Amino acid sequence: MNNDDEELAAYQASISAQNDPSQGQEQKGGAFERMKGDDPNWRVKTGEGQATLADIKKRRRDELEEAQEEGVSRKFKIVNFTSEDSAVVGEKTIISHYCSICGEHCVAADAKIMKLPRRRTDKSFALEEAMHFHKKYANFGERINLKRPNGVEQQYRFYCRQCRQPLGYRPRPDSETCKFSYFYHDALVEEQSHAIALR
Residues of the shown chain interacting with Zn ion in the complex, contacts defined by CB under 5 A = 99, 101-102, 104, 160, 162-163, 165
Whichever of 106 and 127 has its CB closer to Zn ion, that residue is 106
Whichever of 59 and 97 has its CB closer to Zn ion, that residue is 97
Spatial CA neighbour of 159 closest among 106, 123, 117: 106
* Beta carbons of 122 and 152 less than 8 angstroms apart: no
User: Least distance from C-beta 188 to Zn ion, angstroms?
Assistant: 10
Whichever of 99 and 116 has its CB closer to Zn ion, that residue is 99
User: Least distance from C-beta 72 to Zn ion, angstroms?
Assistant: 34
User: Least distance from C-beta 187 to Zn ion, angstroms?
Assistant: 9
Spatial CA neighbour of 138 closest among 172, 165, 176: 165
User: Least distance from C-beta 167 to Zn ion, angstroms?
Assistant: 8
Q: In what order do the strands lie in the sheet with 180-183?
A: 125-128, 180-183, 166-170, 151-160, 138-148
Whichever of 36 and 105 has its CB closer to Zn ion, that residue is 105
Q: How far is it, in rounded angstroms, from Cα 155 to Cα 169?
A: 6
